[in-house]
Amino acid sequence: MEDTRNLIDEYKGMTNEQVFAKLTNKRTPLEIAIENVEHDFNIGSIVRTANSFNVAKVHIIGKKKYNRRGAMCTDKYLEIIHHPTIKDFLRTQNGRELIAIENNTPRAKGLCSKLFKPNTTLIFGSENNGITTELLAEAQDVRFIESFGSTRSVNVGAAAAIAMYECVRQTVLETSIEKATSK
């Protein structure tokens, strides 16, 4: 029987548990936090993108339930942790750099100038209200994604994809390229 799941060939024919275990052996150190994102599609999109970059964990702060259809079953291959409160989430972040992706604060600087560290947690907030002031105060750094059109910001799912790529590009891809070229 043909495996019709949206998996790369390496994982075809494996159980979900086997795929999860294989991915765990090569996770990137990046973690993602989603705070009170209202639209299920956006949560699902962020989870699916997190799977694409094989992040270590996805933290959902506040809202517990979401329609997992948007994640296209990729949530089966990630560690997703629900935190009812910000305080509960923060207890899991010892030694990690918390970077809020938020454009509605004077603290924010452009994403293009950020030099990422491997143990980073990217924080994304509500489409309407952004990241709460309580969680924003805990972030060591705040970044916005530069735009060039008339819209002030991109959708939170798109913002998450852009920020995850940039972080993984710097902390995983550049490191891999450096290792390969030094041999």
Query: With bands split at pLDDT 50, 70 and 90, how would you rate the model's confidence at 57?
Result: very high
* Mean pLDDT within 23-46: 90
pLDDT at 109: 97
Is 64 buried (19+), middle (13-18) or exposed (0-12) by CB count in 10 A? Answer: exposed
Does residue 83 carry a pLDDT above 70? yes
pLDDT at 66: 59
Q: What is the C-alpha R_g of the chain?
A: 17
Beta strands in the chain (DSSP E): 31-35, 57-61, 80-83, 97-101, 109-110, 120-124, 141-144
CA distance 88 to 25: 26
pLDDT at 64: 60
- Give the angle subtended at the CA of 161 by the CAs of 10 and 67, to the nearest 5°: 80
More confident residue, 151 or 39: 151
More confident residue, 177 or 136: 136
CA distance 18 to 11: 8
Give per-residue pLDDT as tens, 88-130: 999 999 999 999 999 989 999 999 999 999 999 999 998 888 9
173, 174, 177 from 183: Cα distances, Å: 16, 15, 10
pLDDT at 38: 77
Does residue 72 carry a pLDDT above 80? no
pLDDT at 23: 95
- Give the angle subtended at the CA of 172 by the CAs of 167 and 175, to the nearest 5°: 120
Q: Which domains does the chain have, with CATH numbers?
A: 15-181 (3.40.1280.10)
CA distance 47 to 103: 21
